Each structure stands twice: as C-alpha cells, then as structure tokens.
Amino acid sequence: MDDLTKKTVKQRLASATGHLKGIERMVDEDAYCIDVIKQVQAVQAALSKVSTLILDNHLRTCVTTAIRGDEPDERERVLEEITSVFNVSSKL
C-alpha cells in the first residue's frame, strides 16, 4: 500500500472503530432497534469503501507488477485473488 492509501485506510478504520463503540453505547442506552440497525449499516457501507480503496491501490501496484512480470504462476495468483474478493463482495 502506498503511504497516502495507508494513511487514509487507517483513518477510516479508526473512524469505523469509533462508530462501532458509539453503537455499543446506543445499545446500552436502549436506543430504538431500527436506529441501531441503520448505524450498523452505515459502518458496513464505510467498510465497503475501505475495501474498494485498498483494491484500487492493489491493482495499481502488486497486480500491475505481477502482470508485467515474467512469472505466469504469480500472474495467475493475483488474478484469482481479484476474482475471489469480487465474489465475496457480491455476497456481503
């Protein structure tokens, strides 16, 4: 991960962590269920963006290097990984 992506990803993960702690407090204070669900869904959406951000950086660095490289096995491996995370993301 390049430095800027790393910094942004860490900030967003820290923000999601803070959000989750806030949701724990909501549950403690007997907040309305639907409001809790909406906040949980907001964290899920924020995490989706984090994944997209990391993938974008990964494509531009490791994947590009592997595809331009001379090892067919390595190329195959990075492409399979992309398909695999795409497949999981469509099931979340």
Which H helix or E strand runs over 29? Answer: none
Q: What residues numbered 44-83 form the site for a second copy, per CB under 8 A?
A: 44-45, 47-48, 50-52, 54-64, 67-68, 75, 79, 81-83
Spatial contact of 16 and 45, defined as CB atoms under 8 Å apart? no
Q: What residues numbered 1-40 form the site for a second copy, per CB under 8 A?
A: 1, 6, 9-10, 13-14, 16-17, 20-21, 23-24, 27-28, 30, 32-34, 36-38, 40
- Residue the block writes with tokens 């795409």: 86
Please list the alpha-helical segments (H only) found in 1-92: 3-28, 33-58, 64-68, 72-89
* Gap between the Cα atoms of 53 and 8, Å rounded: 9
Binding site for a second copy (CB under 8 A): 1, 6, 9-10, 13-14, 16-17, 20-21, 23-24, 27-28, 30, 32-34, 36-38, 40-41, 43-45, 47-48, 50-52, 54-64, 67-68, 75, 79, 81-92
